[in-house]
Structure formats: C-alpha cells, structure tokens
Structure 1
Amino acid sequence: MNHLQIKNLYGPVSTSTERSFITILLDKIEGDITFKEFHPGHRFTFDYKNQPNIYIFKTGTVALVRQPYDILLDFFEAPTIRGMIPIHEASKSLFVMRAITSIEVAIIDKENFYSLLHQYQLWDLFAKHLLLVASTAMEVMFKLNSTSVYEMVRLQLYELMEKPDYIREAITAEQYIRGKTRISRSAIMRVLSELKKGKFITMDNGILKGINKIPINF
C-alpha cells in the first residue's frame, strides 16, 4: 500500500487547506490592499488581547507556533489568510507567525477586511474557505490525538513528506514531530530508528528523504 492509497483510506496525507476559494478572493481585493515584503525570521504575534488584524500572505511560507511550550501548529504556504478566527477570551496562548522564506503580506484591520468582503460580495466565497479551514482543523486534531506514539509519528511523517523540499531540508524529522506532538525525543527516535531498519523510511542526517509503505501497525 503506497501513501496515495493510505490517503484514500485514512484521510488526507497533508492537512494543508485547498486554495481555490482564497485565490479567487485575493484576486478580487488585491487592488485595495498593500503588500509589504519581510525577510526570513520576521515575526508577527497576536493573542486574545491583541488580535485586531488580518494577515494576508501573497507569497512565501510562515510557521505558526503557539506559546507557551513552543508548539508548532504547522507551516502555511501562500496564498493564505491568518488571524481570521477569533481567539477565545479564556486563552492564555500567544501565537507567533515566523517567516520561513521571504514573504509578501498585507496587514489589514478586520473591520476593513469585512468591508471589502461586503463591497465585492465575497462573503459566500469567504464562508466556503472557512469551511475548508474547519475541516482541515478537524483532521489536524485527529492526527495529534492518535492512540499511540507510533501512530502519531507515522501520521506526522506523512505530513512532513508532503511539505516542499525547502521545508523538509530545513528541519529534522525528529524536530518536526516533537514540535507538533510534544512526544519525547527518545520516543520519537526509537520509532524512527525501527522504521529506518525496516526500510520504511529513508533519512539523511535526520532529514526525511522518502517514505516507503509505513505499516499501520508495527
């Protein structure tokens, strides 16, 4: 069974959101917003008390991390919109978006963004995009709440394999999985070692290079 067959049986390999609706939306409003370029490493932060803006990424990739505990939520490739879902008032989390590549981003007040949706009659399109985001979030939660360490490692390996080469080359498999799941380093390395011995994965200096039919049970 290859990873495409696994995708059909157990949900999507990658939990990236399909971009058709957001691409159309951005084409409609691009003339009304201003993009600025930021270099790799630039950070944007927001929390419950400070979340007035929408971040519209035209190009590049960002990592979204939740503090405390430095939890990697995911990497997001442009085009994408972040900051659109309100943070609950009980949340103590700080969210950090860090540019992985050079990025072009427009930062716009939420009320101004909503006005553009109204002006160009884009609420329906935006709602369809939010439905995709919601379905993706459910898949993310499923993959992070599996019943065993092995299953979580397995699922995150497929997630990582679907990332662009420049992301996979920039982070070891162990760092990626630990950042997403908070499983201990020793437990992750134990599973990776067994998968390498069984030739189910190919790695080079900790970097995931290939996947070859990782078994559901091991």
Structure 2
Amino acid sequence: MPQLNKPLIEFDILNQYLHTHGTPFVVAEGENILPADKQTNQYTIVILQGCASLSRAQNDVLLGFAQAPCVIGLAAGVMSNQIDYQVATETQCSGYYLPAAQALSLLEKYTLWREAFYWMTWQHRILEMRDTQLVGSNSYNQIRASLLTMAKWDESLRLRVGVMNYIQRRTRISRSVIAEVLAALRQGEYIRMHKGKLLSINRLPLDY
C-alpha cells in the first residue's frame, strides 16, 4: 500500500460489516453530523459522500478535513477519550454512525483487526504529517505548509474554503500576520487567489 494513500480496500470491508448496524444520516452543508444529544467521542462515524471538517470542540482548532469515503472514531470504543470533537459538514454529507462500543464489538466478531489497523495507520500518518508541519515551526512555515496542503485538495474543496479562515483555524496565527504574508506572496506572484480562495501555487519561498 503506497504511503499516505487512503486504504480504500480496507474501508470497503469495514463498511460491509458496519453499515447494517448504523443509523443513516443525510446532513446539509454547515451542520453537525451528530445530533446535539450525542458526543463525537462516543461514536464511530462513516462518511460515504461529501466532506466534513474535524475540530476540537473546546477551542475550535481545525484538525483537518475528512473527504468521503472516511471513518472517524474507529478506535473510540477502545479507550475513553476526554477530549470531544466536532464533525461539521463542509458539503452535504451522507453516511451513518453507530456507538463506538458496538463498532468495537463488530471488529471483534468479524475479525476486522487487519482492516482497522490499516485504516488507523493511515489516519496516524496524516496527523503525523500535520504535526511535522506545525509543531515547532515559525509562523511563516506554518502558513507555507497550510498553503501546500490546500494545493493538494480537490479543486471543488479548494474553491469553497477561504484561505484566511483555514489557516487561522488550523494554526491560531493572528489574522493580521496571515494577511501580511498572503499579501506578500500574492505581490510576488508566488500564489494566485480570487475572492479569498486559493487558485494555484507557482512556488513558495522557503523563508519569508
């Protein structure tokens, strides 16, 4: 399996056994996937269509985007998590959710540990890459890494998400600093933007 490629074969196998036990959902853009009376850290969520954002409920720090197909919270039933997360739709999303404890029982019943391991390893590598980009880096390098991340998105997602908002929620760098760096990069024709959205990156200097 190539590094950082989403393990789609393993996802299909997991979905085959989980979907008959899930509560289906179709949620419009800009809404939370789970009902207000349910905590994300107690559920496994499977997104079959659409794109959602994952953020910490406490401080709204953006961890990333989950584009279908995707499983969130597959390991939530293994160990209690004191940090709650919010999964909100960036586009209309459909899929299903089920209690994390039930998902864990299904992994055990149908011997799905290999598939779960592949999926969780992929998620770990994505978060590891995020930490490499942000932890211990100065403001410019965090902004640069965020722009490079956006450049890899599907065009449809890139044209929906504002550059300023994404970088600020992801890094917590002040909006004034982000605006200054973006203006300099646009002036130097390193990036192209339109109405706050990223169109393309020509190249990004290593230092600011």
Smaller-chain TM-score bracket: 0.7 to 0.9
8 A Cα contact 2:191 2:200, kept in partner:
yes
**Which of 175-184 and 125-134 deviates more?**
125-134
Match of 2:105 in 1: 115
Output the aligned Cα RMSD.
2.6
Q: Does 1:74 align with 2:56?
A: no
1:182-213 CA distance string (max 9 Å, x none): 00011111111111111110011221100011
SS in 1 for 2:102: helix
| Aligned partner letter, 2:28 | H
**5+ residue gaps, structure 1:** 1-11
Structure 1 residue corresponding to 2:189, chosen from 189, 199, 202? 199
Structure 1 residue corresponding to 2:121, chosen from 131, 151, 172? 131
| Aligned partner letter, 1:19 | P
How big is the shift at 1:95? Answer: 1.6
How big is the shift at 1:121? Answer: 2.2
Change (3 A) 1:125 1:102: same
8 A Cα contact 1:146 1:152, kept in partner:
no
1:109-133 CA distance string (max 9 Å, x none): 2232123223332111111211121
Q: Does 1:26 align with 2:11?
A: no
Structure 1 residue corresponding to 2:206, chosen from 203, 210, 216? 216
SS in 1 for 2:207: coil
How big is the shift at 1:169? Answer: 2.0
8 A Cα contact 1:45 1:96, kept in partner:
no
8 A Cα contact 1:67 1:96, kept in partner:
yes
Q: Does 1:83 align with 2:73?
A: yes
8 A Cα contact 2:7 2:118, kept in partner:
no
Match of 1:188 in 2: 178
How big is the shift at 1:217? Answer: 2.1
TM-score normalised according to structure 2 size = 0.84
Change (3 A) 1:70 1:56: same
| Aligned partner letter, 1:131 | T
Structure 2 residue corresponding to 1:148, chosen from 134, 138, 145? 138
| Aligned partner letter, 1:23 | D
1:93-118 CA distance string (max 9 Å, x none): 44211112221221112232123223
8 A Cα contact 1:45 1:95, kept in partner:
no
TM-score normalised according to structure 1 size = 0.80
